[in-house]
Structure 1
Amino acid sequence: MRTLVILGSATMLAACGGDTGAQSAGSVAPPTGPAATHSFVNPTETKTYEGLGGVQSYDYSTRSDQGYQDGQLYAADANTARSSGISVAYNPRDAIFELTISQPLGNVEVAAFRFQDPQHRTDFDGAVGPQAGVPEFAANKQIQYLQADAATDTGSALSGNDPLADGAERSDYFVGAAGSSSTVNTLFYQKPGTTTKYVTYAGFVRNVLSANEVSEDGAPPALQQNYGLDRAAFVFGERTANGAVPKTGSASFTGDMIASMVFNPMGDTDPGFPSYLQWIEGSNTTSVDFASLAVTTELTGTVHAPTLDAYTSWASALPAGSRFAASATATLDLINKGGFTGSFDKASFTRPGMDDFTVSIAGSSLDGAFFGPNGEEIGAGFRIVGGTPDERIDIVGAFTGKK
């Protein structure tokens, strides 16, 4: 389990992209007492939110004299509305974001990581941008990117002419010479107020990379690249007090969805087939019947390209542009669950140039809550776990919605 503690000072968190303004965050706690001047879009008070979503981690290594991923260790976990394990604190006076993740079942621990330097703000517009594995969204989504190194000792990167770098030229990740290491953390989130006023969605990417030289049985030395890849997708915002959630009638909520995924169904037919992490970007429609306590959710999305490593085949069972669809049902239980909980009954992918793929679901979860003074918006986290033997398919995600 990788644990990271970084503390820093103030930073100015203006919106990335030039003209979208400074960023802000509000509180997850239900409102109490007189109305405050704070708001989620334009806060005036320091607040801490609980996140609702999930995490995944994938650790392995590759070698310049081999063509497969070795020492694979994968884990994931999704939290509930009452047991978060994710928090985001925002101080509007000093414009500091601080992220904490503690989800040991998913092998992801981030201890009070602060984004503090003005240059932590980044985007995809220039030569310097977010690290490999961070999804690039359409400009109208107004996604803000904050990125920082932590405990980094970076050696020289290999050139394409280095004989040990053969097979590394297509790697999206940093490829280092023996003795090099790199740890980079990225928090991204949709600017509050873009599509929803009281809740927003966010993601986290941490790549822990290193390299060492290995030699066996008198063979020429080979270069080993080591990968520790963490991902998270979650929502955070100003939760609705239980008493303010409607008790009668029904409502339909629509909004955005993101998810991080590993998709490798090739274990039986090609045991050396690599597993890559990919993002899904899309939307959701959720219907809530407050009287009967029934909730239904439909998700649709488009799959981003996989993030490739060094020395593997770069083959992917799920090409960029594949379409994702899933449906779930849940039950509203504010007293015991703090929102709604349920599971998925189907999930599938439509793949360009390949057969459609239906996920055999072994386990799944949907955990959501209401946001805003009177439940005007929703936010939820979810997980879908594939159940076919010798497949590694796992999706963790989050979505927001408004009436």
Structure 2
Amino acid sequence: MRSMGKLLAITSALSMATLLSACGGDTAPQTVGSVAPPAGGTPTPTHTFEVPTEVKTYEGIGVVQNYQYNTRSDGAVQAGQLYAGDANTVRNSGISVTYSPRDAIFEVTINRPAGGVNTSAMRFQDPAHRTDFGGAIQPQAGVPQLATSKNIQYLQSGSSTGARLGAGSPYNTPGAQQSDYAVGSPGYSSTVQTFFYQKPGTTTKYVTYAGFVRNTVSATEQQDSATSPTYLRQSYSLDRAAFVFGERTANSAVPTSGSGIYTGDMIATVAFNPALDTDPTTPTYFQWIEGSHTTNVNFATLGVTSNFTGTVKAPALDAYTSGAFYLPAGSTFTATSGATIDLVNKGGFTGNFSVARFVRPGLPDFVIVIAGSSIDGAFFGPNGQELGGGFRVVGGTPDERIDILGAFTGKK
């Protein structure tokens, strides 16, 4: 199964600098990062993150999560639940992105066993792998439609076997019709993966953020005993990831004095289910958060403070569950973290969160009891002009599944 669409090429122009020639006082324009041409010569273009000219592999900093379960046509619960999440560090990535500008090919690899997400090198090479929102072919369920101004590029590939559930099937109940994911007839299976990223140069020049969605869905007809009626079982394995990648600053080039305020974008994926104790039938759904962040860095004291805010998007629903969720679309997420720069031991900055909450329309605010949290980031650009990283906030109230995992970028 493949989705088709349109991918904007990475074509933002390189900045130009005018340098004094060594001969005769003439001046000639020079591309930043290139070797100065002879007087009156033509600038020699070089590779940049915005306008790549060579194959490069970037390590990602970010987070992953996986949720596995099954539903059945004669029930309304998610059974066999298995959830995992993980946030990597600057020096323990497990996420890589390779881009070939000659052939416009992306290869993405995610290997985070603690978060339940492992992929071989996913190769997006067919022009038809490029897709977007609008029209008959769009990104799959669970992929966030981010603001047009964010200039998000979507690539998608996958395959399926068997047929989807037909209109005349006895299993085609309202519980099946609510599903945003594919609902299969007996014997159906599909695996589709989507990689999306912000086009470099849109908000930041040296780092960008990205996301990953992989949905594996299968259907089998079963019965509990030889005399019981048959039912349709839908099995799900859902992967999510958010991370940043780009041209990191060498440790020796990170400022050691002064301060800076970095502002930029944030995306996050959240599992939010506070009702496991009061209503065990309440399903868990993944939801995306789109927003912004501000980070204050004091290079002299090595202190880093970040504030996040974002808007929650509606979840993708599955088949045969109640469809109930406790985090309405339009809810606001806010959080504050503190970190310390440690370039020698950490390669960037690391810390944790002091507060995180959701403001929910029509419902009481939800302040998260934090059991664990992390923020890991690095500086990007020749002299630390930009930064990016990943974060995680884990809820600590018993019998709740609350896990927020995100990525952020920013520039001075």
Of 363, 382, 385 in structure 1, the residue corresponding to residue 391 of structure 2 is 382
Q: Which residue of 1 aligns with 2:195?
A: 187
Of 199, 202, 206 in structure 2, the residue corresponding to residue 198 of structure 1 is 206
What residue identity is the alignment partner of 1:182?
S
Q: Which residue of 2 aligns with 1:176?
A: 184
What residue identity is the alignment partner of 1:156?
A
Cα 1:128–1:188 shift into 2, 3 Å: same
Of 343, 347, 351 in structure 1, the residue corresponding to residue 360 of structure 2 is 351
Q: In the aligned structure 2, how far is the partner of 1:268 from the partner of 1:288?
A: 41
What residue identity is the alignment partner of 2:185?
A
Q: Which residue of 2 aligns with 1:163?
A: 170
Q: Which residue of 1 aligns with 2:220?
A: 212
Gaps of 5+ in 1: 1-12, 25-32
Of 270, 281, 287 in structure 1, the residue corresponding to residue 279 of structure 2 is 270
Larger radius of gyration, structure 1 or 2? Answer: 2
What residue identity is the alignment partner of 2:201?
G
What residue identity is the alignment partner of 1:124?
F
Aligned 8 A contact 2:166 2:185 in 1: no
Q: In the aligned structure 1, how far is the partner of 2:320 from the partner of 2:184?
A: 13
Aligned 8 A contact 1:251 1:288 in 2: yes
Indicate whether 1:21 and 2:9 are aligned.
yes
Of 139, 159, 172 in structure 1, the residue corresponding to residue 148 of structure 2 is 139
Cα 1:114–1:132 shift into 2, 3 Å: same
Q: Deviations over 1:181-228 (max 9, x none)?
A: 000010000000000000000000000000001112322110000000
Q: Deviations over 1:47-70 (max 9, x none)?
A: 000000010000000000111000
Aligned 8 A contact 1:15 1:23 in 2: no
Of 363, 368, 375 in structure 2, the residue corresponding to residue 366 of structure 1 is 375
Q: In the aligned structure 1, how far is the partner of 2:142 from the partner of 2:5?
A: 23
- Percentage of identical aligned residues: 65
Of 106, 115, 124 in structure 1, the residue corresponding to residue 124 of structure 2 is 115
**What TM-score, normalized to structure 2?**
0.90
Indicate whether 1:53 and 2:62 are aligned.
yes
Q: In the aligned structure 1, how far is the partner of 2:165 from the partner of 2:147?
A: 32
SS of aligned partner of 2:82: strand
SS of aligned partner of 1:326: strand
SS of aligned partner of 2:145: coil
**What TM-score, normalized to structure 1?**
0.91
Aligned 8 A contact 1:287 1:296 in 2: yes
Aligned 8 A contact 2:10 2:200 in 1: no
Q: In the aligned structure 2, how far is the partner of 1:21 from the partner of 1:57?
A: 31
What is the count of residue pairs matched by the alignment? 378
- How far off its partner does 1:15 sit? 6.1
Q: In the aligned structure 2, how far is the partner of 1:342 from the partner of 1:172?
A: 37
Cα 1:22–1:251 shift into 2, 3 Å: closer
Q: How does 1:1-400 map to 2 (within 5 A)?
A: 16=7, 20-22=8-10, 37-149=46-158, 152-166=159-173, 167-217=175-225, 218-400=227-409
The CA RMSD measured in Å over matched residues stands at 1.6
Q: Deviations over 1:262-318 (max 9, x none)?
A: 000001110111000000000000000000000000000000001100000000110
- How far off its partner does 1:354 sit? 0.8
Q: In the aligned structure 2, how far is the partner of 1:21 from the partner of 1:97?
A: 13
SS of aligned partner of 2:288: strand
SS of aligned partner of 1:168: helix
Aligned 8 A contact 2:78 2:321 in 1: yes
